[in-house]
Chains A and B, each alone.
Chain A
Amino acid sequence: ETGVTQTPRHLVMGMTNKKSLKCEQHLGHNAMYWYKQSAKKPLELMFVYSLEERVENNSVPSRFSPECPNSSHLFLHLHTLQPEDSALYLCASSQDLASGQETQYFGPGTRLLVL
């Protein structure tokens, strides 16, 4: 149990669907992250939030839309995705951004398949 949960664990969607991924952290952290993990490729940072403010948007297509309503919850809204967006989407949290040395703790991920 890492203290970071994600739902759903698996998701199959068509290219015209709209869905949302949810992440919740129970660690009292102030920073949250979305990563994409494709097969045989490094984890790619997508978005970073600190105290509910977005501090990083790593050239991610607009069909991915993050939302951070409070420091414990992070969402990734998906619409009109492409098959190449199929991947494992991982959420992570850390105590803060400021020190630059914070360990990030990961959730189990949502395995997404776009048909």
Chain B
Amino acid sequence: GQNIDQPTEMTATEGAIVQINCTYQTSGFNGLFWYQQHAGEAPTFLSYNVLDGLEEKGRFSSFLSRSKGYSYLLLKELQMKDSASYLCAVLNDYKLSFGAGTTVTVRA
């Protein structure tokens, strides 16, 4: 089976940094994705990690440790528009298994 855990909710202040953790136990691993989903909208691709380490893309960075079954998404210089749900998903062959998502609320 697949087990992917991430916190349900996080709140942070505009301009701050937030780190969303994701732990996983899956039968196979071909990489880990992070998606952003605003309410009522499509999930949009943020990042993909398949090797250990940090991938930086502007204000967003994603880290992976395969030996620990752990990833995090780091959001820097938070903006109000970053308020959304962030989905961690593990790829096994061609199947994506998702966590339940972390709702991030950015306050002024």
Q: Does the CB pair A2–B98 fall under 8 Å?
A: no
Q: Is the CB of B100 within 8 A of A103?
A: no
A selection of 16 A-B contacts at a CB cut-off of 8 Å is: A2-B42, A2-B44, A4-B42, A41-B100, A42-B101, A43-B89, A48-B94, A56-B95, A101-B30, A101-B50, A101-B91, A103-B33, A104-B45, A106-B35, A106-B42, A109-B42
Residues of chain A touching chain B, judged by Cβ–Cβ distance below 8 Å, are 2, 4, 31, 40-43, 45, 48, 50, 55-56, 90, 94, 97, 100-109, 111
Tell me whether B48 and A103 are in contact (CB under 8 A).
yes
Residues of B within 8 A of A55 (CB): 94
Tally of contact residues, B, Cβ under 8 A: 26
- Closest B residue, CB atoms, query A91: B42
| B contact residues vs A (CB 8 Å cutoff) | 4, 8, 30-31, 33, 35, 40-45, 48, 50, 87, 89, 91, 93-101
CA separation between A100 and B94, bound complex, in Å?
A: 5
- Smallest CB separation, A87 vs chain B (Å): 14
